[in-house]
Amino acid sequence: MSLSPTDVERIAHLARLQLSEAELASYSVQLQAIVTFVDQLQAVDTVGVEPMVHAIELSNVLAADEVREGLSRDLALSNSPDHDDECFRVPAVLG
Amino acid sequence: MEWQFASAAEISRQLSSKQVSATEIAKYFLSRISKHNQAFNIFVHVDEELVLKQAAEIDARRARGESELGALAGVPVAIKDLLCTTDMPTTCGSRFCEKYISPYDGTVIAKMRAAGMPWMGKTNLDEFAMGGSTETSIFGAGRNPWDAQRTTGGSSGGSAACLAAGLSPLAIGTDTGGSIRQPAAFCGVSGFKPTYGRVSRYGVVAFASSLDQVGPMAHTVEDLALAMDVISGHDPLDSTSLPYAKPGYTTSLSQAPQRFRVGVVREQIESDGLNAEVKQAILKTLDVLKECGADVREVSLPHSKYWVPAYYVIAPCEASSNLSRFDGAHFGFRAEPLEGKKSKSPLVEMYSSTRAQGFGAEVKRRIMLGTYALSSGYYDAYYLKALQVRRLIRQDFDRAFEDVDILVGPTTPNTAFKIGEKVDDPVQMYLEDLYTVGANLAGLPALSVPCGRSQVGLPIGVQFQGRPLDDALVLQIGHRYQQAIGWRPTPAPLS
Amino acid sequence: MNAAPYTLVIGLEVHVQLRTKSKLFCRCSTEFGRPPNTQVCPVCLGLPGALPVLNKQAIDYAVRTGLALKSEIAKFTKWDRKNYFYPDLPKGYQTSQFDLPICSRGFLDISDSKGAFEPKRVRFIRAHLEEDAGKSMHDEVAGKADSRIDLNRAGTPLLEIVTEPDLRSPQEAKAFLTELRLLLLYLDVSDCNMQEGSLRCDANVNLHIPVDGKTVATPITEIKNLNSFRAVERALTYEAARQWDQWSNDHIAIGGRPKQTRGWDDVQGVTTLQREKEEASDYRYFPCPDLVPVTLTGADLDKARGELCELPAATRTRLVQQYELKEYDSDVIVSQGRELVDYFERAVVAGGPAKRVSSWIQQDILRLLNERQQSLTQLGFSAERLADLTKAIEAGTVDTSRGKEVFAKMLDDSALSVAAAIEALGIKAVDDSELMELCHQLLAENAKAVNEYRAGNAKALGALIGQAKKKNPNADPRKVQELCKQLIDSGAV
Ligand SMILES: [Mg+2]
Ligand SMILES: [Zn+2]
């Protein structure tokens, strides 16, 4: 499939990646090359083939509903780029 | 005594017979690190005080005559900087996590801590393990101890190189598409990717969750078995951890069957991309194996040419989602708002500039690729298709393993390439994973051990792949091979 | 209802917080109201390397609810990631269920005991499990607008229940939510506390308007922030009128404008535009590689079905059949919750006459609980004591009016029996001759009232009751009045 710079712009926005004009151009070329490469897959007949999500077949991995101690608030906030005594701080959610 | 290429097993024996102390061992390797680390850019973090403290604790426990000290107590280990540690930064080779200190230890780290293994430090890697050359790290490219102009391979390049340079007797790596085996081959060391689910992923920064697997790297297969005895086993904190009792990898090491059937993958051994010297080394290995009781036959994995394309859809898809958490909101790097720029949404602005500045080019490429393949209108053609092909790939293996017990072939098509040679050509770089990604897609155990050197002296690796859960058998046969050739780690020239 | 020039079409999405002790994918506490970021761990903080492990109880609750809603329970269900960036979503994706929800279809019947609408069956599309997000709070300090993020709630299990667009009025929507809430409370799967956010509702609304013999549909709006039943009713009423106005102005039909998300402003009583989904958010759902599927066998479901409690609709019918209660009375008791039904039945088992117990519960017990904002246990008046009290009244040991005094006395002292209370209040049965003498006395002393009664004022004798009570507090006012009438009517006086 062909990938236009408009596609790359849309993808970059979905992925929250700001691209310069130059980056947009170079990523468009590189991503097109990779997409062309993986397009080989289209040649495989996969009619009726069950998709394989996991490398192993496990099911029903369940934990009992028991409360365990988590992290202290200080530790939880310790790697945060911006926080106060209680909360993470981020730029205004609505604005 | 010179310890730089002593096996972990040997160091362990010397420690338990009190010929040497853990502190002496730690000091020895610390001095090696201070001498050689800079030239090869192997460790991104070393904490002398911490290593010595950990070693001293082991010495004290041994002096008290504690009986439950494990085989590897006091044997140093180097850790790929993708595993979360509370006492050292976990950078993932990324600007994003340059100052990140995990508030918790991952399961493998906790197990090694309990086993009394002091950590020499955290090793260099491709950013978020995305790459095959340890060139995408913010700390700069790792250099191959066999030839400093060449890459170590990747992404666990630092872990492979630290063994080759004699800076640590054991290392931990992670393998999503060959990231343990390929650098092991390039650096002339042994590396093992266990069956998916054998080793807990809890506390390993995720690249592609359904492919990622932690594994040991060492000088010998025996050392790999010793490390597996420590790090493997069911973990209730990882839903994809296999709920089976772990075999005694070390105790069963010498129990390789007298006769076993070896498969050689036709599509690999006959492929045009396979370097002639590598091919020769593999054929020689097969001869050795025949003497060890192998019945060698050819097998076909018809979908092997789709391994890399399927991998480069599935891995980026999972990665695009796994790396969404690196957004500047709760931890790690956050970009300063651009001066004077008024945005419609300061929040979107923060996300986009943080991620643009926090991630390197390869990571961004893969995030965008995955985002594309999952996006509306493309999901079926790419992601779903790749998952279906993945099933066919697994079925190829299942069929092959009806006739053989183990597959033997090249780990990589070529020996270590030059730094900068492929970094701007993603597709060429991806083809480096030609022989390794199959085991990740299918979840198989796979081992790479040195099997010779090229004319210019670069190491060559042979890969052993087994049925799912046949980890012990793969290690047994690898061990028998190393015994048959009288394997001793050769010092890299460190030129 | 007055005939509107349109049909209002409503579908609801209800998010039910399941009352597990720990979160859906980690073992942090779900307790409400704790200080911010004190119930968090690497998993619900979305820290690098952390992995989810599913809470079994959440599956059990979802299955229980699905069975009660007559849904089909999936034998195979899995987890998907819904990818989007938002600061209350620390992983950058919400773990949810996309194409294989744990429950599909099903229905809930609703009716109105006052007949405000015809009984109807509301169908479900699906119900799926997902993790809740954290909370963001807007904060303005020093001229800088920020949001503060609390992740205590992040990862709490939610069951998202989606109905077909079967509801046709704000009253129906409210009745549906009320009945759903009651069912969930009976099932004991959620606290259903709307103030605390453990029951949240979004509504999808549009109008079907007959135009030239055809039906035109208006663009659908999704209304968020409906935090009480009253808000649901008001917002839907408002939104119907708003859409009608808008359509009258612009005649834009569905498809002519993107779907809008509108927020309900409870203070202003209006819905306001939050966003238009023009870029049709692309959530890139895909199966979560960190979680494995859940499979349920027929035996699992049979077991869950066997453990299911009696549901409100069945209880309503049973109380009518078993105790001969009126439908209305049965509905009042059942709608109060399972605890009150148990209380009623315990009182009856202990010998209380069913109808009298029912009316005492409705008139006295419920009034008190309401006044005092107490639970039954806090009230401290056991079903057995209510049984004794209603038995005494039924037997005539004490009349209804003095019964209230006995009740009040017993409430003050939780150890006091009916007999002791009667004795303490000095209540004694008044024998017939005593009563006769009292009435003669009363009539003799109140010639004016007697004359008024004879002149046709039936109520005139009511004035005698107070005097009767003074003369003998134990005299049953009803009997006094009847006897007086007999004496006058028979010409004995
Ligand atoms: Mg939802
Ligand atoms: Zn948690």
**How many other CB atoms are found less than 10 A from the CB of residue C61?**
24
**pLDDT for the residue numbered C40:** 98
Q: How far is A28 from chain C (nearest CA, A)?
A: 20
Confidence of residue B343 (pLDDT cuts 50, 70, 90): low
* Location of structure tokens 């790359």: A8
pLDDT of B495: 62
d(CA B370, CA B199): 26
Residue with tokens 């969404």: B324
- The DSSP string of B299-368 is E--GGGGGHHHHHHHHHHHHHHHHGGG-SSSSSS--PPPPTT---S-HHHHHHHHHHHHHS-HHHHHHHH
pLDDT score of B340 more than 70: no
Partner-chain contact C22 A66, CB within 8 Å: yes
Tell me whether strands C260-265 and C221-226 are parallel, antiparallel or unpaired.
parallel
**What are the chain B neighbours of A7 within 8 Å (beta carbons)?**
372
Among A27, A30, A52, the residue to mutate for chain B (most B Cβ within 10 A): A52
Domain A5-42 has CATH 1.10.20.60: yes
Contact A53 B387 (CB under 8 A): yes
Positive or negative, the CA dihedral C12, C18, C23, C28 is: positive
- Looking at the structure of chain B, the number of domains it has is 1
**Token representation of residue C428:** 């004694």
Whether B313 and B371 have beta carbons less than 8 Å apart is answered as no
Burial of C277 (0-12, 13-18, 19+ CB in 10 A): exposed
Determine the Cα–Cα distance for residues B88 and B102; give it in Å rounded to an integer: 8
- Let me know: does C68 contact C77? Beta carbons within 8 Å: no
Our measurement of the distance from residue B155's CA atom to the centroid of its chain's CA atoms, rounded to an integer in Å, reads 7
pLDDT-derived band at B375 (thresholds 50, 70, 90) equals very high
Mean pLDDT of B237-264: 96
Is C1 a member of any domain? Answer: no
Tens digits of residue pLDDT in B59-83: 999 999 988 899 999 999 999 999 9
- On whether the CB atoms of residues C284 and B322 are closer than 8 A, the answer is no
Cβ neighbors of B483 (< 8 A, separation 6 or more) are none
Q: Which residues of B481-495 are buried (b: 16+ CB within 10 A; e: fewer)?
A: bbbebebebeebeee
Find the largest Cα–Cα distance for chain A: 58
Alpha carbon B365 to its chain's center: 22
What pLDDT shows up at residue C451? 85
C315/C313 Cα distance (integer angstroms): 5
Long-range contacts of A29-35 (CB under 8 A, 24+ apart): A30/B365, A30/B426, A31/A3, A31/B365, A31/B368, A31/B369, A31/B372, A32/A2, A32/A3, A33/B426, A33/B427, A34/B312, A34/B365, A34/B369, A34/B426, A34/B427, A34/B430, A35/A1, A35/A2, A35/A3, A35/B369, A35/B372
Phi then psi for residue C43, to 5 deg, are -70, -55
Contact B131, B362 (CB under 8 A): yes
Torsion angle, alpha carbons of B387, B393, B395, B397, to 10: -140
Give the burial string for C109-128 (b: 16+ CB within 10 Å, else e): ebbeeeeebeebebbbbbbb
C-alpha C160 – ligand 1 centre gap (Å): 6
Q: What is the pLDDT of residue C478?
A: 79
Task: State pLDDT tens for residues B80-95.
Answer: 999 999 999 999 999 9
User: What pLDDT score does B424 carry?
Assistant: 85
Q: Is A56 on the interface with B (CB under 8 A)?
A: yes
Q: Are C156 and C30 within 8 A, CB to CB?
A: yes
> Most distant CA pair in chain B: distance in Å?
74
* Cα A17-A20-A25 angle, rounded to 5 deg: 100
pLDDT of residue B87: 96
Q: What is the whole-number distance in angstroms between the Cα of residue B212 and the centre of ligand 1?
A: 29
Q: Number of structural domains, chain C?
A: 3
Residue C286: name the closest of C37, C155, C93, C115 by CA: C93
Q: Which helix or strand (DSSP H or E) is residue B447 part of?
A: strand B446-453
Cα separation, C88 vs C36, whole angstroms: 13
Cβ contacts of A93 on chain C, cutoff 8 Å: 86-87, 136, 138, 147
Nearest CA-CA partner of B25 in B55, B47, B46, B54: B55
C456's CB contacts (< 8 A; 6+ apart) are none
CB contact under 8 A, B103 and C47: yes
Kindly tell me the sign of the dihedral angle through the C-alpha atoms of C471, C475, C481, C487.
negative
Rounded Cα gap, residues A50 and A53, in angstroms: 9
Give the structural domain span for C483. 432-489
CA C379 centroid distance within chain? 20
Q: Measured between alpha carbons, how far is residue B68 from residues B275, C116, C459 in Å?
A: 48, 76, 97
DSSP of C68-110, one letter per residue? HTTPEEPSEE--EEEE---TT-TTSEEEE--SS-SEE--EEEE
Q: Is residue C83 in a domain? A: yes
> Of B435, B447, B432, B443, whose CA–CA distance to B481 is shortest?
B447
Interatomic CA distance for residues B94 and B332, integer angstroms: 10
The answer to whether C430 touches C472, Cβ cutoff 8 Å, is: yes
Q: Is residue C209 part of a domain?
A: yes
Task: Give the pLDDT confidence score for residue B395 in this predicted structure.
Answer: 98
ipTM: 0.97
- Which ranges of chain C have pLDDT less than 50? 1, 278
Claim to verify: residue C286 and residue C317 sit in the same structural domain:
no
Coil vs helix vs strand at C456: coil
Q: How confident is the model at residue B391 (pLDDT cuts 50, 70, 90)?
A: very high
What is the domain range of residue B48?
1-495
* C324 vs C31: CA distance, rounded Å: 42
Alpha-helix residue ranges (DSSP H) falling in B135-179: 157-164
Could you tell me which residue, C212 or B446, shows the higher pLDDT? B446
State the catalytic residues of B.
Answer: 80, 155, 179
Tokens of C264: 């309900």
If you count residue pairs, one on A and one on C, with CB atoms under 8 Å apart, how many are there? 116
Tokens of C401: 């009016």
Pick from B84, B324, B327, B330 the residue to mutate for testing the A interface (most A CBs within 10 Å).
B330
Predicted pLDDT of residue C1: 45
What is the pLDDT averaged over residues B219-235?
98
> What pLDDT, on a 0 to 100 scale, did the predictor assign at position C394?
84
pLDDT on residue C492? 75
* Residue B338 confidence class, pLDDT cut points 50, 70, 90: low
Asked whether the beta carbons of residue A56 and residue B387 sit closer than 8 angstroms, the reply is no
Give yes or no for a contact between B473 and B402, defined as CB atoms under 8 angstroms apart: no
Taking the C-alpha atoms of residue B106 and residue B84, their distance in angstroms, rounded to an integer, is 5
Whether C107 contacts C70, CB under 8 Å: yes
Q: How far apart are CA B196 and CA C263, in angstroms?
A: 47
Q: What distance in Å separates the CA atoms of residue B141 and residue B155, rounded to the nearest whole number? A: 11
* pLDDT above 90 coverage of chain B, percent: 91
**Residue B451 is part of a domain; what is its CATH number?**
3.90.1300.10
Residue range A48-67: mean pLDDT, rounded: 97
Question: For residues A43 and A57, what is the distance between their CA atoms, to the nearest angstrom?
Answer: 27
On whether both C394 and C320 belong to a single domain, the answer is yes
Rounded mean pLDDT, A55-84: 97
CB half-sphere exposure, B157, CA atoms < 13 A = 39
- Are B148 and B72 in contact by the 8 Å Cβ rule? The answer is no
pLDDT of residue C475: 77
Instruction: Say how many C-beta atoms besides its own lie within 10 A of residue B259's C-beta.
Output: 10
Asked whether residue C305 is assigned to any structural domain, the reply reads no
Rounded-to-integer distance, Cα C78 and Cα C59, Å: 11
With beta carbons under 8 A apart, name residues in chain C contacting B313. Answer: none
State which residue of chain A sits closest to B213, comparing Cα positions: A55
A91 touches chain C (CB under 8 A): yes
Residues with Cβ within 8 Å of C293's Cβ and at least 6 positions away in sequence, in order, are A59, A60, C76, C77, C78, C79
Residues in CB range of C437: below 8 A, 6 or more apart: none
- For residue B192, give every residue at least 6 positions away whose Cβ sits within 8 Å of its Cβ, in sequence order, or none: B180, B215, B216, B217, B221, B224, B228, B445, B446, B447, B448, B471, B474, B475
Interface contact A80, partner C, CB < 8 A? no
Does any domain span residue C11? yes
User: How far apart are the C-alpha atoms of C196 and C465, rounded to whole Å?
Assistant: 51
Confidence (pLDDT) at C437: 84
pLDDT, averaged across chain B: 96
Residues of B in contact with C290 (CB under 8 A): 206, 209, 239-240
In a domain, C342, yes or no: yes
User: Which C residues, 89 through 128, put their C-beta within 8 Å of a C-beta on chain B?
Assistant: 90-93
Instruction: Decide: B203 and B84 in contact? Cβ < 8 Å.
Output: yes
**Which pLDDT score, from 0 to 100, does residue C479 have?**
80
Per-residue pLDDT at A95 exceeds 50: no
Q: Which helix (H) or strand (E) holds A10?
A: helix A5-14
C35 touches chain A (CB under 8 A): yes
Of B100, B320, B385, the CB nearest to A41: B385
Which chain A residue is nearest to residue C48, measuring alpha carbons?
A79
For residues A11, A16, A20, A21, the Cα torsion angle rounded to the nearest 10 degrees is 20
What is the tens place of the pLDDT at every residue in B140-176?
Answer: 999 999 999 999 999 999 999 999 999 999 999 999 9
- What pLDDT is stored for residue B196 in this prediction? 98
